[in-house]
């Protein structure tokens, strides 16, 4: 029996040792702070320097970001002006080719402007009927007097 008790005690001791070996040691925040302060006496100074460095880096990033935003804005404006100039050139060339005012064209490509110009010319040529005149459109008599005299002459000749 003595052997059984010794074996049981031995088993309990082994189990307790295994449990202690497997369980990791835990530290409180105060323990961690003490360990850091012992190993790194200038830790707080380094921490402050790191914080200042991060602040400076953030400030420079914001300046860099501002500069990048401004560059992007100016690039977009330049691209817009180039596009406007290109479109104005296309409209001017098509207007000259078709004999219409460039202000009537609103398209942005060569093909669209040409299609608009053809449509404008087709509409204008269909509307270009000359009015019929009573006298056939011939000049009968030119007066040399004042407007009052011309009106009087016209009145006398028609009534």
Per-residue pLDDT tens digits for 67-84: 888 999 999 999 999 999
In whole angstroms, what is the distance from residue 127 CA to residue 70 CA?
52
> Which of the 8 DSSP states describes residue 114?
H
Per-residue pLDDT tens digits for 84-132: 999 999 999 999 999 999 999 999 999 999 999 999 988 887 766 666 6
In whole angstroms, what is the distance from residue 106 CA to residue 108 CA?
7
């Amino acid at each position: 029996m003595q052997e059984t008790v010794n074996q049981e005690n031995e088993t309990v001791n082994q189990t307790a040792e295994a449990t202690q070996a497997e369980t990791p040691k835990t530290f409180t925040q105060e323990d961690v702070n003490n360990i850091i302060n012992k190993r790194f006496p200038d830790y707080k100074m380094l921490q402050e320097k790191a914080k200042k460095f991060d602040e400076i880096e953030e400030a420079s990033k914001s300046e860099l970001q501002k500069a990048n935003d401004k560059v992007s804005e100016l690039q977009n404006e330049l691209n817009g002006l180039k596009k406007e100039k290109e479109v104005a050139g296309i409209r001017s060339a098509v207007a000259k080719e078709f004999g219409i005012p460039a202000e009537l064209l609103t398209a942005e490509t060569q093909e669209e402007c040409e299609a608009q110009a053809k449509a404008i010319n087709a509409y204008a040529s269909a509307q270009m009927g000359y009015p019929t005149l009573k006298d056939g459109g011939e000049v009968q008599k030119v007066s040399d007097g004042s407007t009052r005299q011309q009106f009087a002459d016209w009145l006398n000749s028609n009534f």
